[in-house]
Every structure is written in C-alpha cells, then in structure tokens.
Amino acid sequence: MVAFFIFGVTTAVGHHLFYNSLRGDPVVETSSNWDLEAFFHGQEWKIRFGTAFAFLTQSLFAEAIDQAFQQTVWVAARNKAITVDGLDAMFSAGSSLWSFFKLEFLKKATLGALLGLIKWLIPLSALVTPATLTVRPSTSLSSSTMSVPAVNFSIIEPLYHFDESVRQTDYAVSNNGITPYLTRILSSVATSLQILPMKAAVPNSTYETTFHGPSLRCSRPEPIIHEAIYWMVKASYNASYNGNPEDLEEFYLHMPWVAFAPTATILQYTHLASKGDPRLGGVVPLTSNITQPHFLTFARTCIAADAYWNDDYLSRIGIAPAMCEGVSGFDEWNARNVTHEYVSTLKYADQLHPMYTYNITSSNYGRIWVWVDNSTTYDCVLTDTVYSARFFYSQSESMQRVDPEYKFAWTENDLHGSYFATANALSNFLTGAIRADHANNVVLQRTRVTESAIFGALNLKSEVGDSAPGLSSRAITPEIRALARGKTPGELIEELSRNLTLSLFSAEQVLSINATEAVVTVSSQGNVYAYASRNLIITYAVTSAVSLAAILVGLMSLIKNGVCHEIGFLTFLLTTRNPRLDSFTLGNSMGAVPQSEKVKKTKLRFGFIRGTHGDIVQPEWQSLKTPSVDVQEQTGPGRVGFGFENEVQPLIKGAAYL
C-alpha cells in the first residue's frame, strides 16, 4: 500500500519533469511514426509518453487505495453482522459499480464505500494531465547584420523627365516634368494617409536605419512674403471672376486655400520690393504697374486656370502666359548640381537677403507658398532631413512597412541634386485654389488638396450664409475633419512630404537593394510545445492528497485487524470453512446468480467460531473472559472465519487464534 503510493508520487513527478523538459521545444515533423527519429522527436510519441505517465500514475494510486479499501472492509466485517448480499457488495465494490447501489453496504461499511468510490474516481485524473501538454504557434527571433535597401536619390529619371516636350508646355495643368510613376505614388500617399509598403527584402524581418532625404519645412513667412502671397490670392480671385482686383471687396473671405511655387520672376519682384536693388535704381513695390501683371498672369495661368481658357486678356496687357515651373531648375545641369552657394540664399524663411540674384540660375529651388483661410500663410522650404525609421514585416500583406512613429530632424546640409523631384510633385498636388461662392459651394481650381487630410484642417463657417472666412460644414464633414487629427495645415503639409519620401522605398525603380547595412531581426514562425504545469500539478496534488488520506485509513484498519487481509479466493477459502455454512449452502455450490433471497438475507459476521469436537460447532457458547493465553485451550476446538451472527465471537487483538 505504501509502496504503491510512493511509486505513484514518483511517476507523477516524472510526468511533470518530462513535460517541463519539452516546454518551448519546437515541434518536429517526422516522415514516419515508427522509426527512431519519430521515437525521440515525434509529436505523437511525446503524447504517447505523457499518456503512459498519466495511466501509470493513476493505476498506482488506485492500487494503493484498493489495498486500503481491502483492510477497511474487513474491519466492517468484524464489527457488524451483514447479510450475504451486503457482504457480496462490500467485497466486490472494487470491481463492480453495482455494489454502490446496495444500501446495506453504504450504511454498514460507509468508510469502505468511500474508499471504493475514490478508487473508481482516481482514473479521472488521466483525463486532465495528458492534455496539459499542447502545441501553440510561436515566434523565434534571430539578429544579424545584413544589407538592406535604401532610396538612391541620385536616380532621377524614373521620377522626373528632362525632355522639354514634357515640361512647360501644358500651361493649365503643368506636370513640371514629374513622371506618372511619382504622381501615382504621391496620390496613394495623400489619399491613403499612410506610408506605402515596400517589397520585403528579408521576409519576417525588422530593422532600423538612418538616412538623409527631403522634406518640406513650413514656417510663418517674412512680412514681405506674406504680402506677396496676399497679392497672389487677390490675383487668383480676380482670375477666377475675370474682374478687376480693385473692385473686389473682402475677396480673401472666399479663398480658403491658395498654394503655388513662386517662379523666379515672383521671387525677384518680392525681393526687390523688400529692400530694392541699387542696380535697378530703387524699390519696385508689389502694387506697381510692373509687378501686378506678373502676379495676375501667374494666377491665371498656374493657379486659377479653367479647363479651357483664352489669352485675350493677357494679350491686351502684353504679357505672355507664365511658365508653371514648380520648384526646380529648367535644365538638367542645374537639377543635378544644386550647391550651397545659392541654396543658402533660398533656404530659410527668416532671411530677407536675396531670394533671387542675377549671378545664379533663375529658378525656385524648393519653395511652396500657401494661403490658408483668412490670413494664415506658410513658406514651405525644401530641407535636408535625417530620418530614423523602423521597418517591420506585415504578415497580412507580406510586405515591409515603415513604423509611422519614425523620427526625423532637419539639418543645415546642402540639398541633394534630386530632392527637387519630390517637392515638385508636392507642388503639383497642392498648387491651385479653393474658392467658396456666396452659396457656400466649393469651387476647386487645379488643386488636389481635397484628397488629403489637409482639407480637414481648413476653417468652417459657423453657419450657412455666415460672412466669416471658411468653408461650409457641407464641404468639410466631421469625418473629413477627423482626418486632420487636430494638426495645422502647415504640420500636415510637412507630414505629407515626409510620408512621400518614406514611400519612395516602395518605388523599386529608385531603390538600391544592398545600399546600406543594418542589424536585422528575423522572426521565424513555428509550433512549440506549451505546458500548463499548473493544471498538472494541481491534479496530481489533489490525487496524492486523497490517496494519502485513504492510505492512512488503510493503515489504521491494518493496525486494528492485527493482520493483513486481501480479497481473493484463498482468503475466502480460509475464512468460510464452516460446516454450518456448508450445510446452509447445500445445493448452491455452483455459485450461480442470482441467488435465492434466503441465502442473500442471511446475516454473517467475521470472528471466532468455537467448536466442541473439532468439526461440529455448538450453537451455544460462552464469551471468552481471559483471552490472553490460549483461546483454543480455554474454549475448546474452534476457528476464525465467517459464521452466523449467533455463533461468532468478536476477535480480540493479541489473542492466539488458529
């Protein structure tokens, strides 16, 4: 009994150690279930071993409890007279559940019935413990230094055409040399409000890299630039209505958005109006008859142009249509060779000295001027930027994505020769005007800003018909306003420019595959063993505790019996050698069931049966008064066994029975 319990505890601990050794191990697929590889590594064999542990453990505990049960029922047989039917149920309870439906057994051998029931329930633990080992998907990580892709900003041709037939010929909807390839990328970035994914260089990888790239830096402009933007807005409104600017009152109330890349001419007159140029002999104000036609011409040609227009007005004032040049130089050399010498004069909004000088190429290298709502203006300047971005693998898309929480910092470095392409594409997207008529209808002129989150950052009128600047809530719904996330138009323009640069990683035509090195963390998907140790430990702890309690009861019964009993043929052979029982059961020696009610209802008890002639037991006998010496000598011939209730004397511990 004790040995079986110890062995059961040992196998339970072994089961735990076996499963614990498998925790986190990869699940290995084997070609066969019946070779050595499968035996040592196969998932099926791991389950078989666990089931074997569970079966062996519950069998050992059940056997220990069965031994305790056997000792306990013999105590009940000694203490009380029980019918043959009750004795049959009591001694067969370990092998037949039908015994628990016998009320006499439950009443006269309650402790034995409890132990028998526990023995039947112990195997249930085998339903829990094998299932504590499961298989779950897992991700393992490994890091190494690898070559990763980077944008090659020296590659210009896929983004920009130098062919004169592409640039400067379509006055109304000028592409400024930007290719459809780059236009599609910008459209996707602006409308999706996210950075485009790239083809995965290494599947399931994550890495961080730092690189230089372009972005727009928007700030509040100098007063003279603000004034120039103001006059361009006025000219745009005039071009839209084809009227005289001086006759239009509060025109700015109806122009919530105007954006453009100032041409070299606009930059020249703006600079001369700020300080003058001694070589020209004085200041040229923005309101002069020389300056205003250039503003109006540019507005008619590049900002507020209709799908079809004629140049009668421009011909009458003797001004040719403007070239909508964007933010780049006209010739390939200047586009490829931007240097600090003249970029520094155009780069910062807080510098008034020359935005335009006569000893450099007449071009705008990286400026976009923006008018928003009533009087807010931005001078957005193309700036070299350091990006620190994390690239992660999107399992659902099988693509590499840029973490939107990237870091960036503007630098004072010279602009790279091909940065202008992204600024030009942004200029094409933003340039144009939004006009609100008196009925609060929105009139779009060239600009595509309504396709981006920037549109949601524009002001709203308080109500329909309100004379305050802004757009109607019919134009900017709460859903559109939510896209702006509370950011200003300037912040959103900067974000759009950065997202465009980061989305160039999706443009394979400008991507260098092994351009730089980074520490790449590769995740591998697979199945590993998971072990719910808590469930196994609790199950075996409860089983062990119940078994230990049963064993303690069995040991107490063993001590009370004085000898060890079993339930088997030999035991019943020796304990039923009673001539009266032989006579009583005459005609039933086959032991067939069911037995007669007479036999089943007869009460028997286990004890000392005294006889006078060795083979004939007297029904009348006296109780032993001094059992300490020799029972047989004091009582005459007799034996220990089952007998009728009125012929059995209770056994006395310590007496010498035959």
- Banded pLDDT at 624 (limits 50, 70, 90): very low
Beta bridge partners of 527: 137
316 pLDDT exceeds 60? no
Name which residue leads in pLDDT, 281 or 98: 98
Nearest to 536 by CA among 237, 196, 132: 132
- Banded pLDDT at 171 (limits 50, 70, 90): very low
612 pLDDT exceeds 50? no
Query: Residue 341: what pLDDT?
Result: 31
Tell me the whole-structure pTM to 2 decimals. Answer: 0.62
CB-count exposure of residue 287 (10 Å: 0-12, 13-18, 19+): exposed
| Amino acid occupying residue 453 | A
Please state the rounded mean pLDDT for residues 364-369.
78
**Could you tell me the two tokens for 610?**
């005294």
Query: Residue 465: what pLDDT?
Result: 52
133-137, 236-240, 482-486: least confidently modelled range: 236-240
221-230, 324-333, 370-379: least confidently modelled range: 324-333
Please state the rounded mean pLDDT for residues 518-547.
90
Residue range 439-453, pLDDT digits in tens: 667 778 888 999 999
525 pLDDT exceeds 70? yes
510-519, 575-584, 616-625: least confidently modelled range: 616-625
Name which residue leads in pLDDT, 108 or 351: 108
Query: Residue 545: what pLDDT?
Result: 93
How many CB atoms lie under 10 A from the CB of residue 289? 8
DSSP result, 299-350: IIIIIS--SS---HHHHHTT-PPPP--TTS-SSHHHHH---HHHHTTTS-TT
Query: Residue 477: what pLDDT?
Result: 84
For the chain, the average pLDDT equals: 77
| CA atoms of 416 and 150, how far apart (whole Å) | 15
Query: Residue 301: what pLDDT?
Result: 76
- Banded pLDDT at 200 (limits 50, 70, 90): confident
| Amino acid occupying residue 178 | I
| CA atoms of 5 and 119, how far apart (whole Å) | 13
**Entry field: residues in the chain:** 658
> 3-state DSSP call for residue 507?
coil
350 pLDDT exceeds 60? no
Which range has highest mean pLDDT (197-211, 282-296, 302-316, 628-642)? 197-211
602 pLDDT exceeds 90? no
Beta bridge partners of 449: none
Query: Residue 249: what pLDDT?
Result: 55
| CA atoms of 325 and 330, how far apart (whole Å) | 8
Query: Residue 645: what pLDDT?
Result: 80
**Could you tell me the two tokens for 350?**
């807080």
Please state the rounded mean pLDDT for residues 187-192.
94
Please state the rounded mean pLDDT for residues 527-539.
91
| CA atoms of 462 and 450, how far apart (whole Å) | 20
How far is the CA of 579 from the CAs of 243, 303, 601, 619, 642, in angstroms? 138, 127, 19, 12, 11
214-228, 314-328, 340-354, 415-429: least confidently modelled range: 340-354
Q: Which residue matches tokens 């933007």?
A: 229
| Amino acid occupying residue 658 | L
Q: Do the Cβ atoms of 606 and 575 come closer than 8 Å?
A: yes
Residue range 238-254, pLDDT digits in tens: 776 655 545 455 565 67
Name which residue leads in pLDDT, 17 or 361: 17
Please state the rounded mean pLDDT for residues 299-317.
56
Residue range 555-599, pLDDT digits in tens: 998 888 878 877 777 777 777 777 777 777 777 776 666 777 777
Name which residue leads in pLDDT, 632 or 421: 421
DSSP result, 68-108: HHHHHHHHHHHHS-EEHHHHHHHHHTTT-GGGGG-HHHHHH
Query: Residue 364: what pLDDT?
Result: 63
